[in-house]
Amino acid sequence: MVSELGRSAHGEIWQDLIGHRAIQQNRRLRELLLNEQSFEIALGLVQAAPYEVSDRQTFERALLDTFVAMDREVSRIPDPWINSYKVQELLFRICGRRSNVGAGYMFTLNQDLWPERYLYDEHPHFSLPPDLPGLRRNANQPIFTSVIGNYSENFIMRPIEEPSLRGELRDRFNVIKLHGSFNWRTADARTHFVMGTNKDKQIQESSLLSWYFEIFKKVLSVGGVRLMIAGYGFGDEHVNEIIANAFDQHNLVLFIWDTGPDLKTRLLLHRTALPFGADC
């Protein structure tokens, strides 16, 4: 399964950023966001002149604050109109059972903590236990539990050394965050998630995320794999390429769950990189 933040969530992040006190106090960043409605493009632009290192640091701190605020909302009692237990059951049924790849997989482009907070109780569904492969967990760190608590420094996680050699995958329900997570840090304490522009380069610079994309390729290329796509807008060419190759060469079967009215239009915009062509 592949999931991603919906378009409305991207809009909410932009709104939180433009209203952030540090952004409001920085004229260059405020004007940048007023002129660019995509916060990811804005993040890419702020990496180079005429913006200074201090501008980039301010933008990134504001973005991290926005994710922390989002996590507070995620951690609250769920919307009564959404049965989170049924969502959980669906994910365990789709992703958590043993299969011809020897494990269960949920691939997500989101960087929030929804999976860590709501993927638990695998036993009633006869599912494999959920795991974040290639990451070092702190002593007694709560994860995949309903009592994970509010976001704090205790949530910080770091990759293990040489994850492609030492990471474990078999007999687990692997939650693969292809673009990292806002609570992950590199060895030098930088945030460890992919956003903005030049995503390919950012992924290549991370041994963990490079390994994740190799896993993505291998799982989709086993042969006859069924992939459920939920909320993904097909805007990342490095992801589209892997899906298209598996569809063309390895009999990948796709199911796209999208409630938006313009799915066909969005697919056609990316038809050169996707297997659907003009007949989707």
- Sheet containing 226-230: order of strands: 130-131, 173-177, 104-108, 2-3, 226-230, 253-257
Contact assessment for residue 96 and residue 105, using Cβ atoms and an 8 Å cutoff: no
Dihedral sign from CA coordinates of 150, 155, 156, 162: negative
pLDDT in tens, the chain (280 residues): 766 555 556 778 899 999 999 999 999 999 999 999 888 899 989 989 999 999 999 999 999 999 999 888 888 766 677 788 888 898 998 887 655 667 899 999 999 999 999 899 888 888 889 999 999 988 788 889 888 888 887 889 999 999 999 999 998 999 999 999 999 998 888 888 898 888 899 999 999 999 999 999 999 999 989 999 988 878 888 999 999 999 999 999 988 887 776 766 766 666 555 655 434 4
Whole-number pLDDT of residue 126: 85
Per domain, the residue ranges of the chain are 2-75, 84-279
Closest CA to 122 of 150, 105, 153, 97: 97
Retrieve residue 66's tokens: 């926005």
Q: What is the DSSP letter of 267?
A: H
Count Cα neighbours of 26 within 13 Å in the Cβ-side half-sphere. 23
Contact assessment for residue 185 and residue 158, using Cβ atoms and an 8 Å cutoff: yes
How far apart (Å, rounded) are the C-alpha atoms in residues 76 and 71? 9
Whole-number pLDDT of residue 154: 81
